[in-house]
Copies of this chain bind each other. A is one copy, B any other.
Amino acid sequence: MAFAYLTNIACEEAIERLLDALDELGGRVKKELVPVSESLGRITAEPLYARISAPHYHACAMDGIALQASVTFGATSTTPVVVQPDRYVVVDTGDPLPDGCDAVVMVEDVVLPEGVGMHELGVCPVTLYKASSPWGNVRQIGEDICAGEMLLTSGTVISPAAMGAMLAAGIAEVPVVVRPKVGIIPTGDEVVPPCPDPRPGDVMEFNSTIFAGMVRSWGGEPVTYPITPDSPEAVRDALLRAVSECDAVLLNAGSSAGRDDYSARVVADAGELLFHGVAIKPGKPAMAGIVRGVPVIGVPGYPVSGIVVVESLLRPVLERFLGASFADGVSAEATLARPCTSSLKHKEYVRVRLGAVEGKLVATPLSRGAGVVTSFVKADGIMEIPQNSEGFEAGEKTRVRLLRPLAQIERSLVVIGSHDPLIDEIAQIMHVKQPELSVASTHVGSMGAIVAAKRHENHCGGIHLLDEATGEYNASYLERHFPQGGVRQVECVYRQQGFMVAPGNPLGIESLADLAQEGMRYVNRQKGSGTRILSDYLCKQENVDPASIYGYDHEEFTHTAVAALVESGAADAGMGIYSAAKIYGLGFVPVCEEQYDLLIPDYAWDTPMVQALLEVLQSEEFRARIEAMGGYRVESPGMVRRHYETRAQI
């Protein structure tokens, strides 16, 4: 089953090999003529020269009278000039400049004889108190475009304004590059079309939908072939069909590493294999070759690896086909919120969330799992860790390629702290109220909220930290961690914590002591989370040794993740909030009602995002959603419980 990749070449070298092979095959830009009105977003295949000038005639730029400027020479406020009706012509804006005229006087500057009305303009003499200069108030031929000028080079993406300019320049049809056809072949016996009810072991085939979207957004035309079973013959047949119909082909392996190897063999047999194995992570098993004159790219099965490989290898191929370059987009400098290590063996692409806190960009690395497609949904940027680097420290500055406009990132509420599904509901209500705002939340537990606020990395975070000594929530922690003050403790909700168990609680679980029994399996929350502090506290109270509970070190980061594991039967119980148990239809053994507050640092208080958050907390919509979710009690959400004012440290 094990196998070795043929190569471990740098990404840059892989691209070079691929493009060199394309060059050997000869020119690839195919052209077609389309009407200008249908050319939006297409790419010019040739330089375009203006056929006519714009304006194409000398046009009056004002309503008024046209005349020869020389007849007005010498006119001043004290020495006006009278112009007889045979020496001027009444014109409207846009009219052609009449023969013999070279200037227009705007109507406001034309004085009629006393008692004469505007309707007589054209038949009466007029008095002018200002001299015109030749070509004054005239839009001359070619003011905008001169016939024969190059309007657009080849390789230009056609914008709405460019469409207008082409029409103005007498161009009705524009030669554009034919959209390259990209065949996408999903393979794998276990791969099934997406469905709402997959069986265990079914791998849903959504990669081709993602890749098709990427191809489309780069100006290509995706052609998705049926799922091909795992046999060299079937893959070979599908590949030969695709290369005969398309300009490039993506061969999407199943998730098994064994099969990548096998696609490579098919490519090598049917054509020329250029490389197999690239020093990038994710995406190492990437492969490329040329089959019957068509580039074929082997894409690993995991969606995140697949996206990285398609972006890294297919995009340059499409750029070559289109004769255009898509700029790498905008990059910005960001401060890393957590350390991010990487191997010297490969270049690594890490997806990050970005937030603008106190004028600086903060990058929080997202899950690096190759199967975590939501990391691409949540990502605001991509951080590149070079091949020869071991990664970055927390607090280090690094450049990040932005996936969203900076202006949008700057209007995002950065929530780092304890998880609760209500954060997502807040995001939704806030977005409806103020569509320009968004929420980026990261779940790192209550202590994570405190750490982030100390480092000035978030705008707010949920906290529910029980003080064992006093039975109070949060206050003592904030006092201890912020001796200099500078934070506010804001009321959010009270919520039910308890054991999430199978429906009907068939094992009769009532306490942690029950979970310490032989054969019971627990799933825990990560250290530093308020829920973990609660279960540690309960262990002490009940005199239960945590080591005696199987799975006590099995850590998850959200209430829903714990609920999903209990629902799957992988664990018999986990601690969490009622609303998560409700989503999964689980049984729930209440343990306590806890106080879930928001920690809001003073530096973030006046941002539009925090102000919008407070408005949401106080809204009727919020109360209604909270009620519908169940397991919550609200009193005065949004109220400042306590302002830990800034003071000099003692």
List chain A positions with a Cβ less than 8 A from chain B: 1-2, 36-37, 40-41, 47, 51-59, 61, 63, 92-96, 102, 107-108, 118, 133-135, 139-155, 159-165, 167-168, 170-172, 190, 194-198, 200-201, 203-204, 206-207, 209-214, 216-217, 254-258, 301, 303, 307, 319, 323-325, 327-331, 369, 371-374, 376-377, 404-408, 411, 421, 424-425, 427-428, 431-432, 435-436, 438-439, 550-551, 553-554, 558, 560-561, 563-565, 567-568, 570, 580, 583-584
- Expressed in whole angstroms, the minimum distance between the Cβ of A198 and any Cβ of chain B is 6
Nearest residue (CB) in B for A196 is B170
Task: Pick from A54, A94, A558 the residue with the most CB of B within 10 Å.
Answer: A94
Whether A405 contacts B330 in the complex (CB less than 8 A), given A160-B217, A374-B165, A427-B153, comes out as yes
Q: How far is the CA of A57 from the CA of B568 in the complex (A)?
A: 8
The 6 lowest CB-CB distance pairs between A and B, nearest first, are A160-B213, A148-B583, A161-B376, A142-B564, A57-B200, A150-B424
Copies of this chain in its oligomeric complex: 2
Q: Apart from A1-B118, A149-B424, A164-B303, what 20 extra A-B contacts exist at CB < 8 Å?
A: A1-B92, A1-B107, A2-B107, A41-B217, A58-B570, A93-B256, A95-B190, A134-B554, A139-B369, A141-B564, A146-B560, A147-B584, A150-B428, A160-B212, A161-B373, A164-B373, A327-B407, A327-B411, A328-B405, A330-B407
- Expressed in whole angstroms, the minimum distance between the Cβ of A612 and any Cβ of chain B is 13
Contact A374 B151 (CB under 8 A): yes
Residue in B107, B201, B213 whose beta carbon sits within 8 Å of that of A96 in the complex: B201
Q: How far is the CA of A561 from the CA of B145 in the complex (A)?
A: 8
Q: How far is the CA of A580 from the CA of B55 in the complex (A)?
A: 18
Contact A142 B93 (CB under 8 A): no
Contacts of A52 in B (CB 8 A): 196-198
Nearest residue (CB) in B for A306 is B164
Contact A561 B142 (CB under 8 A): yes
Residue in B63, B162, B373, B428 whose beta carbon sits within 8 Å of that of A168 in the complex: B373
Contact A435 B319 (CB under 8 A): yes
Whether A160 contacts B564 in the complex (CB less than 8 A), given A377-B165, A435-B324, A570-B140, comes out as no
Whether A407 contacts B331 in the complex (CB less than 8 A), given A94-B203, A303-B164, A373-B164, comes out as yes
Nearest residue (CB) in B for A138 is B570
Contacts of A436 in B (CB 8 A): 325, 327
Sample 13 A-B pairs with CB under 8 A, ordered by A number: A59-B201, A93-B255, A94-B254, A135-B554, A143-B371, A146-B563, A153-B427, A154-B432, A161-B374, A162-B377, A168-B206, A172-B196, A328-B407
Q: How far is the CA of A458 from the CA of B568 in the complex (A)?
A: 65
Contacts of A207 in B (CB 8 A): 164
Residue in B155, B209, B374 whose beta carbon sits within 8 Å of that of A144 in the complex: B374
Q: How far is the CA of A245 from the CA of B47 in the complex (A)?
A: 39
- Expressed in whole angstroms, the minimum distance between the Cβ of A569 and any Cβ of chain B is 9
Q: How far is the CA of A168 from the CA of B323 in the complex (A)?
A: 35
Contacts of A59 in B (CB 8 A): 201
Contact A210 B164 (CB under 8 A): yes
Contacts of A63 in B (CB 8 A): 1-2, 256-258
Contacts of A151 in B (CB 8 A): 374, 377
Contact A570 B141 (CB under 8 A): yes
Contacts of A425 in B (CB 8 A): 150
Contact B170 A197 (CB under 8 A): yes
Contacts of A550 in B (CB 8 A): 134
Q: How far is the CA of A294 from the CA of B439 in the complex (A)?
A: 32
Q: How far is the CA of A406 from the CA of B330 in the complex (A)?
A: 6
Q: How far is the CA of A213 from the CA of B162 in the complex (A)?
A: 10
Contact A144 B217 (CB under 8 A): no
Contact B377 A152 (CB under 8 A): yes
- Expressed in whole angstroms, the minimum distance between the Cβ of A414 and any Cβ of chain B is 16
Residue in B154, B160, B256 whose beta carbon sits within 8 Å of that of A210 in the complex: B160
- Expressed in whole angstroms, the minimum distance between the Cβ of A94 and any Cβ of chain B is 4
Contact A163 B330 (CB under 8 A): no
Contacts of A200 in B (CB 8 A): 56-57, 96
- Expressed in whole angstroms, the minimum distance between the Cβ of A186 and any Cβ of chain B is 12
Contacts of A584 in B (CB 8 A): 147-148
Contact A142 B565 (CB under 8 A): yes
Whether A558 contacts B146 in the complex (CB less than 8 A), given A92-B256, A377-B159, A432-B154, comes out as yes
Q: How far is the CA of A168 from the CA of B191 in the complex (A)?
A: 13
Whether A163 contacts B2 in the complex (CB less than 8 A), given A93-B257, A570-B141, comes out as no
Contacts of A1 in B (CB 8 A): 63, 92, 107, 118
- Expressed in whole angstroms, the minimum distance between the Cβ of A105 and any Cβ of chain B is 13
Nearest residue (CB) in B for A434 is B325
Contacts of A331 in B (CB 8 A): 407
Task: Pick from A93, A141, A329, A376 the residue with the most CB of B within 10 Å.
Answer: A93
Contact B568 A373 (CB under 8 A): no
Contacts of A301 in B (CB 8 A): 94
Contacts of A40 in B (CB 8 A): 213, 216-217
Nearest residue (CB) in B for A171 is B196
Contact B377 A147 (CB under 8 A): no
Contacts of A36 in B (CB 8 A): 194, 209
Contact B213 A163 (CB under 8 A): yes
Q: How far is the CA of A193 from the CA of B164 in the complex (A)?
A: 12
- Expressed in whole angstroms, the minimum distance between the Cβ of A20 and any Cβ of chain B is 16
